[in-house]
Amino acid sequence: MHSVDTKSEIVKILHFKQFYKHYVFVEDGEVGRKKVLKNYIDVNVCIDMVCGDTQYELGSEE
C-alpha cells in the first residue's frame, strides 16, 4: 500500500511495423465476418510509469 497518491502513465517508447503476411477477420455487416490478407503488424512497446511513493515494492504489505 502506498502512503501517498500515485500516478500511472503509459509511455510508448518504440513503434514499428513488422512485415508479415497474415489473415485477419473483420466485421462484414451485422452478422458476418470477412477474411482479409494483411501485410504487416503494428508493434508498440510501452512501459507503465508509476510516480509517487516508491519506498515499498509493489505487493508488499508493509
**Could you read off the pLDDT of 17-48 as tens digits, one per residue?**
999 999 999 998 888 999 999 999 999 999 98
pLDDT at 1 over 60: no
> CA-CA distance, 13 to 59, in Å (whole number)?
26
Instruction: Round to whole Å and give the CA distance between 29 and 52.
Output: 47
Distances (CA, A) of 18 to 24, 44, 45: 15, 10, 13
* Owner of C-alpha cell 502512503: 3
Is the pLDDT at 2 greater than 80, yes or no? no
Rounded Cα–Cα distance for residues 23 and 30 (Å): 20
Q: Supply the pTM of this predicted model.
A: 0.53
